[in-house]
Copies of this chain bind each other. A is one copy, B any other.
């Protein structure tokens, strides 16, 4: 892995130490939640009711770039993964985001508009137009670069490392629940229907994390590999944090 394919500089602190058992390794992974962007000043502002409509619109429009990257990133995982059983589960993530419409043999139609469309409807609910969301005019360059770093990593890293990088989903249900709990109170002007993306993701993220965690615990076995996994998770946390930094700089953080 070159310096241009982050996480760039991996120096295991204690490569010769014995491997952690699965419970300890998982605890170390979960401990990284201390750096989750739930603690970023920009996110804290959003979820404590101190954001203006303009700041909320800015956040929704910028975060859309992350949303549309997710199925592309997940397809990269599929494309690097020779294990059909893993692919059969992982593909659900793409269906969740892109949506689908299947016709069952009995003629019944099963459809889901998908997370990207749900995000657009969040955007409409906060006062953006579909056009200004989907043409990406509001996306701050540093947000784009951070998201692209994630997709680029998933394209070029071994698929198990890309799976590991998805483990910020460990911390996602909490941030979605926080939004669901605080936004209707603080931002009564936002149609509650617009928040359905957050509702859907609470259960989807829980299911996704089971698979991601199983792959990670199974693949990273030596201490050096386990430390590498922590490094990858920190890299992904950095991406989410950097997105918030860029939005804070563009839209400001109210006291």
Contacts and interface: CB of A to CB of B under 8 A. Distances in A.
B82 A87 contact: no
Contact of A91 (B79, B82, B94, B108): B94
A98 interface: yes
B102 A102 contact: yes
B82 A79 contact: no
Copies in the complex: 2
A75 interface: yes
Contacts of A104: 104, 108, 110
A87 B99 CA distance: 10
Interface residues of A, number: 29
Contacts of A94: 78, 87, 91
Given A91-B94, A116-B84, A110 B102 contact: yes
A72 B68 contact: no
A76 B76 CA distance: 6
Contacts of A78: 71-72, 75, 78-79, 94
A145 interface: no
Nearest to A101: B88
Q: Give the interface SS of chain A, mostly helix, strand, loop or mixed.
A: helix
Contacts of A73: 79
A155 interface: yes
A29 B117 CA distance: 36
26 contacts: A68-B82, A71-B78, A71-B84, A71-B87, A72-B79, A72-B80, A72-B82, A73-B79, A75-B78, A75-B79, A75-B87, A78-B78, A78-B79, A78-B94, A84-B98, A84-B114, A88-B99, A88-B100, A88-B101, A91-B94, A91-B95, A91-B100, A102-B110, A104-B108, A105-B110, A108-B108
Interface of A: 68, 71-73, 75-76, 78-82, 84, 87-88, 91, 94-95, 98-102, 104-105, 108, 110, 114, 116, 155
